[in-house]
Amino acid sequence: MASQQFDLLVIGGGITGCGIALDAALRGMKVALIEKSDFASGTSSRSTKLIHGGLRYLKQLEFKLVRDVGSERAVVHRNARHVVIPEKMLLPIVEGGSLGKLPTSLGLLVYDLLAGVKAEERRKMLDRHETYKAEPLLNTNGLLGGGLYFEYRTDDSRLVIELAKSAYANGALLLNYAQSTKFIYDSTGKVTGATVTDHNSGNSFDIRAKVIVNACGPWVDLLRKEDNSLKGKRLQLTKGVHLVFPYEKLPLKQAAYFDVGDGRMIFAIPRDNITYVGTTDTVYNESIDSPNCTKADADYLLKAINHMFPSAGLQLNDIQSTWAGLRPLIHEDGKSASELSRKDEIMVSSSGLISIAGGKLTGYRLMAEKIVDLAEKKLGRKHTPSTTKNYRLSGGEFKDEDDFTNSLKQFLAQGEKLGIAPQVVSRWFYRYGKNVQQLFEIYLSQSKHANATELTETQYGVKHEMVHTLSDFTIRRTGNVFFNYPATKSQLPFIATAITSLLNLPEEAKTQQLSRASSEFEMVVAFKH
């Protein structure tokens, strides 16, 4: 990276930065991307993990946002089929709630129409009895009915990784644990590069590029300040937390989206062995690097969930893990956290630095298209239309639904021959898609090992997904800490040994990784105690 001149340097390896890197690489630009920590370690691993149009933005009359983001759902689903799964949602309608029966029915209809939803996935309205049948844990007090509609569930950090791998496959160079610390300017004041610290080696080097994009999410304004261009629009960070419960503590039949009573709505989403609940939306002015879930956040969500599903009787010590993320929103005078628009915003400084913030996971591709169009202009290149709309991400190279279903069947059959349990093959398939073939090849070389499947996945992570630490693997490549903490805990020493030996790190690196991970996980499970 230090020895070349790039067309585009992207700073920030969340969904926004990785989306931009892919679009630009596909249009033939020479691209570098740096990420100060791990890919997706910022907001992009801490969302509600939905590819959704944002039903609640209809209440705020943000029709264009709902249409743009809503219709993107099908695109993201098609291009990353293995990590974007249709999810049926139940919207209960209750007496005194912010959504009446008729407005909900109309709202969901408008939502479907704006987003161009397929006929079989259109909303279905339910009466009181049908709603209760759909979800027997619901509070029947004041229950009037409900609506069933479709969204998509994803694993946000896996989506980012698949994007990063796709960008790399198309010629972009990407580096995690590399932080931009200072901008470099030419004699006219134009930004021409950045000085970067490689946290793995401790070395610093310069990267030169004709166009530089600041895609640092909640950190966007820190870089604008560094560029002396923090004027006009500014970020307003708001925090959102999620709580994870063992599935048997909140055994919902499908995901639910419901009123909290203060004008806000929250999700409860069952997934494998857990159900997670979120989110909150509070103004945040503390450390950007370490947002976490406070007892007040947990109490707020517990109260809401126990009101909607009283028989669950959830308590603080039922919480298995938590995560907290920061929304990089644009400040608007006089508006509360949840009233701030989720629209994205592009800011170009007099030095030429392009900054992008706001937006949604779901709309990443449209944001990337706008940024790369702008970069093309700055580079003085002829316009080439973005091709990401029909570009299948790494692992998601399925022709159609039949190919998807048949691929899973074939992998299960292949796995059986190799002696890999079907649950493991299926889990791998929904993580790595068609790349499961590469995991099988790694497995063949160590099938005799007592922990062969765990070793295979760890090796795949180190060799193909730039895993450097225990947290990279257990939080962002697999989600195991959030979704399967009890089982993951016992495997940590083994995984740390595998990672450090694959990376040829000294023995003390293993101890360091274990202690760093244990303090990170302590934050994640703070309410266990």
Contact residues for ligand FAD, defined by CB under 6 A: 11-17, 34-37, 41-44, 46-50, 52, 179-180, 215-219, 223, 240, 279, 325-327, 359-362
Q: With respect to ligand FAD, which residue has the nearer C-beta, 73 or 510?
A: 73
Q: With respect to ligand FAD, which residue has the nearer C-beta, 89 or 125?
A: 89
Give which of 243, 302, 314 is closest to 526, Cα–Cα. Answer: 243
Q: With respect to ligand FAD, which residue has the nearer C-beta, 214 or 320?
A: 214
Burial of 299 (0-12, 13-18, 19+ CB in 10 A): exposed
Distance of CA 489 to the CA centre of its chain: 23
Q: What angle do CA 383, 389, 393 make, to 5 degrees?
A: 115
Closest approach, Cβ 463 to ligand FAD, in A, equals 22
Q: With respect to ligand FAD, which residue has the nearer C-beta, 151 or 420?
A: 151
Closest approach, Cβ 278 to ligand FAD, in A, equals 6
Closest approach, Cβ 109 to ligand FAD, in A, equals 22
Q: With respect to ligand FAD, which residue has the nearer C-beta, 41 or 170?
A: 41
DSSP-based three-state secondary structure for 298:
helix
Closest approach, Cβ 355 to ligand FAD, in A, equals 10
Q: How far is CA 200 from CA 51, 178, 375, in A?
A: 33, 8, 30
Q: With respect to ligand FAD, which residue has the nearer C-beta, 15 or 143?
A: 15
Tokens standing for residue 208: 């030169």
Per the CB < 8 A criterion, the answer to whether 209 and 67 are in contact is no
Q: Which residues of 65-83 are buried (b: 16+ CB within 10 A; e: fewer)?
A: bbbbbbebbbbbbbbbbbb
Q: With respect to ligand FAD, which residue has the nearer C-beta, 363 or 415?
A: 363
Closest approach, Cβ 270 to ligand FAD, in A, equals 15
Closest approach, Cβ 197 to ligand FAD, in A, equals 9
Distance of CA 128 to the CA centre of its chain: 35
Closest approach, Cβ 391 to ligand FAD, in A, equals 19
Q: DSSP characters for 146-203?
A: EEEEEEEEE-HHHHHHHHHHHHHHTT-EEESSEEEEEEEE-TTS-EEEEEEEETTT--
Residues facing 267 on adjacent strands: 257, 278
